[in-house]
Amino acid sequence: MSDEEKKSLIVCLIKEIQIYLDGGPKMPLKLAEFNFWIYIDGREVRKVLWEGDIYDI
């Protein structure tokens, strides 16, 4: 798979990504929203919010 094909695949799978620009917590990822359902703690979700080491669905 070429780099261009990989980029195209990621663009199709991920709807939105937000990161902390100021260095924020340990994990720079603030929000991930997908174009498909994912399973977290037995629930189907499309959006995951992170605050430090804790996530919220």
CA nearest neighbour of 17 among 45, 40, 57, 48: 48
* 36: alpha, beta or left? (left if phi > 0; alpha if psi -120 to 50): beta
Q: What pTM was computed for the model?
A: 0.72
The two tokens of residue 3 are 């780099």
The pLDDT, as a whole number, for residue 55 is 63
The yes-or-no verdict on residue 4 having pLDDT over 90 is yes
CA distance 18 to 26: 15
Q: What's the confidence (pLDDT) of residue 23? A: 65
CA distance 13 to 16: 9
The model's pLDDT over 7-55, given as tens digits with 9 standing for 90+, comes to: 999 999 999 999 888 766 677 888 999 999 999 889 999 999 877 665 6
pLDDT score of 6: 95
